Amino acid sequence: MKVLAFIFAILITGAHGSCNIGSQTDPKGKATPEDPTNYHEFCISSLRNQVKMEFEAALQYLVMGAYFDQDTINLKGFGKFFWESADEERQHGLQFIKYLRHRGDKGLDFFQGDIEAYSKKVFME
Domain locations in the chain as residue ranges:
2-108
What fold characterizes domain 2-108?
A: Ferritin (1.20.1260)
Least confident of 30-34, 39-43, 57-61, 110-114: 30-34
Predicted local distance difference test score (pLDDT) of residue 23: 46
pLDDT tens string 38-63: 677 888 889 999 999 999 999 999 99
Write out pLDDT tens, residues 76-96.
999 999 999 999 999 999 999
Question: pTM of whole model > 0.85?
Answer: no
Annotated binding residue at 56? no
Task: Tell whether 54 is in a known binding site.
Answer: yes
- Using DSSP's 3-state secondary structure scheme, residue 28 falls into coil
